[in-house]
A and B are shown apart, each in its own frame.
Chain A
């Protein structure tokens, strides 16, 4: 606390400093920045992954840059999921400019976090690594440093303060179809964060990682960056290292805060206790348990629930996620002024991302349909594959196939999922079928598309995987 008080005084001194030309920088703050820098900078990594992308109906690769931080002596690196999602190859450049290849340990799209492991023998004394700190103890106004590779400019450091804690940003959706940012509020900082900073550490003045920089507002704002609190990153990293994934429970409820709804639902205490059920996914555990929109959940698994403000929603989501899968959760529910006990059995949260596949012979790409997408894209049910891109001038384009079409049938085969589709498509290509009927759902309408491909190298088609390497 003493240190913090003196910092405030120093900050004041800094503001007044320009008037006194030869006063020099405040030594104590400068020394602390140097010290923290030295503690973290050696573990900072510049990440250059090669990502597989599906664009305009084709599969291709792009090289991107991101940031990361080594947090263990055996070479585990924390970064963002979106930096290494669909990476075919990951190269890390350490702070001493050594290039080290890395393997993907695991990704978690729901929190936008991922863990890599540096390849090769651990150097004597271990890899340089940073210490993960305590994001729960942060204060608004506290000095922080962002480290990483903004716009690819590696080993950059910027200084700022914590502008706000507990910032609520509604969950958004990744291109893969997965939601993200469901389980945390964000640390907002004015330390400059730009694209390329993603995955890099936000560091406190005592040289500990307190956040993973993940988002910036480059268009409308300046000096508004957001970091994932390290408390969440620590948990996710632990799970990823242990099992390669994060297992979570899911109940299928969209929560709303009680603020402004307390009087409507006749909640005492201005809604200090309780969370409003806003929406229920059809067929979800909540639906099965008989929970309804408009129920106010006062207790979850024997503990009180408090979502008076929307900032409290991520904590409740996380509490549900952390409940063991298949657990019978007693709920205390207020429905039309009556208390009720409801038991709900949690379900494992299904895969949220859909994999993609390309068909260079036909000129389009498809994505697997996940339960998540059924809801978000307003699809009738699971089944089929979604067209994500159509190559201009291709057979598919000629036939009138469009991105967004849900392919339900290939000839007479009802498509169940991506694997089923791939197999059916593969067979059609191998047989050289030159007239194929695709039955698609375009919005609410069933649509028929006749594909008339010409296979130039019928024999090469038998081994499509080998021919792709050249593309």
Chain B
């Protein structure tokens, strides 16, 4: 970790670094040549799991990116993508990327992500009309001591106008993969920017080397804190880091040729049992005479879950997971158990020791991935009706006690005084038919709504289920 101690020295170096006159023309030429490949990326983040009764906070921001590949492939930092395994209610996910160039907007999608280097790869939706040129990289490796320009963007106040910082490559960093240290203090919107030599040839991009969140040496981390506050472009609780040069040669060239697969859904890899749990309190353990330091009582087994597949039953008590005792005595211990299961990961086979009818048994079980919940569920907004519906998810079915045979979509949001609201459609109604056409899922709902729009009937009738009862809801649209 030599670079950590290096940082304060760098700041000193900066403070006394004089701007070299004379080669202004050279610098400006290089800047003009390479600058247009550096673009502002406006993004919107939404909570992965919205709090109950709403969508929750929305975060908007801007990243700096470089058009680095053909067909509008853009490299930027992966700051906006959360670490997997965090609390989904506190995790923001990007929902939109827009690149703004000269007043024009171009949408882009995330296509890849390199978690280790905190890099993300976006692709412009319509590369044919995209004006920013692809950066021209040189295949030569950066050399320590080389003078470089860091091309980035100014802040929102200056409408993200292109800017640059002069710097020198001061070290080739040890460790996994090529990385180079720079002697410059970079601004927020230079992270994700382009590093060029004095000829304007691309050497690589400015990324962040993330600090390892090692438990050892908290004092060390605290000491580094001062430096970090200067360097890091902290966004939404990401691990702090400081700028490094990720070279094109031997790193970006490979990544650009085939961007690593993107896994935007952090729930996908977490292990999931599909049960509702009650802690095995001392009283219950005594009552049933269950040995051991604790356990988890199964209160409900979800349909189609790994638990159901393995034959777990309501009333079974899980005592061990993968030979490790389950030390659950109180509600708050359940989080630990949940995390354990999540960490083991989807697709992993684990033996469970359970207590059933007074006897200990071993049951092999393959963990699944948690299916979509209400907040991740695909949704469909019908803005003219003032209505947003979502596909039925396991947790919705569970929480509302909806009978298993019921299919349809459920009402997630109702706009005040919209057509649906006025007609008496309510949040959590399950729409099972639209104007006489049965809808089993979101796809069928979309189709049925499309047909209704073509026909423009005076009254559109939804057949809904509310609790245990059904009803027809006539909606009078103001077409």
Contact = CB atoms under 8 A, between A and B. Distances in A.
Interface of A: 254, 256, 260-261, 263-264, 276, 278-280, 293-294, 375-376, 378, 399, 435, 437, 442-448, 450, 452
B436 A279 contact: no
Report, nearest first, the 10 A-B pairs whose CB atoms are least far apart: A260-B474, A445-B299, A450-B283, A279-B469, A279-B470, A278-B471, A264-B461, A445-B300, A378-B401, A445-B276
Tell which of B286, B287, B476 has the most Cβ of chain A within 10 Å: B287
Interface in B382-401: 398-399, 401
Nearest to A375: B468
Given A445-B299, A446-B300, A450-B283, A293 B470 contact: yes
A279 B471 contact: yes
A105 B299 CA distance: 46
Tell which of A254, A264, A375, A447 has the most Cβ of chain B within 10 Å: A264
B373 to A, nearest CB: 15
Given A261-B459, A294-B472, A450-B281, A378 B300 contact: no
B277 to A, nearest CB: 9
B130 to A, nearest CB: 49
B445 to A, nearest CB: 18
Contacts of A279: 469-471
A113 B366 CA distance: 60
Given A446-B300, A446-B315, A264 B471 contact: no
A254 B470 CA distance: 8
A278 B461 CA distance: 12
B50 interface: no
Nearest to A276: B472
B314 interface: yes
Contacts of A276: 472
B199 to A, nearest CB: 68
Nearest to A380: B401
A164 B281 CA distance: 60
B457 A263 contact: yes
B463 A293 contact: yes
Given A254-B469, A399-B283, A444 B459 contact: no
B474 A444 contact: no
B278 A378 contact: no
Interface in B170-213: none
Contacts, number: 75
Contact of A437 (B287, B458, B469, B474): B287
A448 B457 contact: no
A260 B399 CA distance: 32
Contacts of A260: 459, 474, 476
A445 B398 CA distance: 9
Interface residues of B, number: 30
B143 to A, nearest CB: 65
22 contacts: A260-B474, A261-B461, A261-B474, A264-B461, A276-B472, A278-B470, A279-B469, A280-B470, A293-B463, A293-B470, A293-B472, A375-B469, A435-B286, A444-B399, A445-B276, A445-B299, A446-B300, A446-B314, A448-B284, A448-B297, A450-B284, A450-B286
A321 to B, nearest CB: 19
A260 B457 CA distance: 12
A443 B401 CA distance: 8
Contacts of A435: 286-287
Contacts of B278: 445, 447-448
A261 B472 contact: yes
Contacts of A444: 276, 300, 398-399, 401
B330 to A, nearest CB: 11
B225 interface: no
Contacts of B160: none
A253 to B, nearest CB: 11
Interface in B290-326: 297, 299-300, 314-315
Nearest to B280: A448
Given A261-B474, A375-B468, A443 B399 contact: yes
A442 B278 CA distance: 11
B474 A264 contact: yes
Nearest to A254: B469
Contact of B463 (A294, A447, A448, A452): A294
Interface string B460-479: 01010001111110101000
Nearest to B433: A294
Contacts of B469: 254, 278-279, 375
Contacts of B283: 399, 450, 452
A278 B464 CA distance: 10
A6 B287 CA distance: 82
Nearest to A282: B468
A384 to B, nearest CB: 15
A283 B276 CA distance: 30
Nearest to B283: A450
Contacts of A445: 276, 278, 299-300
Contacts of A294: 463, 472
A309 to B, nearest CB: 13
A276 B463 CA distance: 12
Contacts of B270: none
Contacts of B458: 263
A86 B467 CA distance: 30
Interface string B53-90: 00000000000000000000000000000000000000
Given A378-B401, A446-B299, A446-B315, A278 B276 contact: no
B329 interface: no
A447 B300 CA distance: 9
B287 A450 contact: yes
A416 to B, nearest CB: 20
Tell which of B314, B401, B472 has the most Cβ of chain A within 10 Å: B472
A180 to B, nearest CB: 17
Nearest to B458: A263
Given A446-B299, A448-B284, A378 B459 contact: no
A375 to B, nearest CB: 5
A375 B403 CA distance: 13
B123 interface: no
A276 to B, nearest CB: 6
B471 A256 contact: yes
B452 to A, nearest CB: 12
A260 B401 CA distance: 30
Tell which of B283, B401, B457 has the most Cβ of chain A within 10 Å: B283
A264 B434 CA distance: 11
Contacts of B398: 444
Interface in B249-304: 276, 278, 281, 283-284, 286-287, 297, 299-300
A276 B476 CA distance: 18
A446 B276 CA distance: 9
Contact of B299 (A264, A378, A447, A450): A447
Contacts of B468: 375-376, 378
B425 to A, nearest CB: 13
Interface string B222-258: 0000000000000000000000000000000000000
Contacts of B314: 446
B397 to A, nearest CB: 9
Given A443-B401, A447-B278, 10 more contacts: A261-B474, A264-B457, A264-B474, A293-B470, A435-B286, A435-B287, A442-B299, A448-B278, A448-B315, A450-B286
Nearest to B398: A444
A378 B467 contact: yes
